[in-house]
Amino acid sequence: MANALTKFQLFRRKRSFCFILPFLAFTQEHFVGDSQDLRHASKFSSSNCQRFKMEGIVVRRVIPSDNSCLFNAVGYVMDHDRNKASELRQVIAATVASDPEKYCEAFLGLTNDEYCAWILNPDKWGGAIELAILSEYYGREIAAYDIQTTRCVLYGQGNNFEERVMLIYDGIHYDALAMSPFEGAPEEFDQTVFAVRTVGPVEDLALHLVKDQHRKRSFTDTANFTLRCAVCQIGVVGQKEAVEHAQATGHANFQEFR
């Protein structure tokens, strides 16, 4: 279920992991140039980029791993701004507080008031609920591509939104996807908002990029990765065992090992 929440949060700092109680919610830019620019762009390629005819390539724009990657990734694709987390957390809290019937404890996993306080904490992650709210707030679809499964979850589908933005998710982190005129082009030339009616070719390129990242195993398998408790050094496999260990011992710091 897309909006289901577990009772723990996993976050990453330099490949270290921590389970935080109480829970985890699992201006359009255009490139303008002449035909010579486009011919030049068509000569570039990269394992991390996919060519889009002569109009550009889909690239992954890295967002800092600071527990607010989802919000700042959305800020980048919507507003070309990597520092929107605080503002967007406020938007989400206000939206949830305004409709306690919809955003009830059964839906959120916390009471309405508890959730609003939780989401305003900069150490807490966002997930499906937050992406759905932000899609409504901006009036645009948000396509979130999962590297591990190579699937795309489309938030805002069915709302007749005319535009779409794209994110990429590696299991514990969100980055932004953009169309760039060529590899290495300044970010100011990124196009991050696309018309839904003509998004097909860009969508195909995004999926190619995601599959390429999947082949390189550029994702964290939270069901099967191996962790070691930094407190007692006991090894566990997957998020489920780590959560159980945290519940039983109160130990909340884990490090990944291979």
Catalytic positions, please? 66, 69, 173, 251
Q: What is the DSSP letter of 196?
A: G
Say how many C-beta atoms besides its own lie within 10 A of residue 244's C-beta.
Answer: 13
Q: How far apart are CA 145 and CA 154, in angstroms?
A: 9
Ranges of beta strands (E only) in the chain are: 9-13, 16-20, 50-52, 56-61, 141-146, 152-155, 163-169, 174-180, 194-195, 226-229, 235-237, 253-256
> What are residue 177's DSSP bridge partners?
60
- What token pair was written down for 213? 């990242």
Nearest to 196 by CA among 135, 149, 151, 146: 135
**Three-class SS string for 117-141?**
HHHCCCCCCCCHHHHHHHHHHHCCE
Number of helical (H) and strand (E) elements in the chain, helices listed first: 8, 12
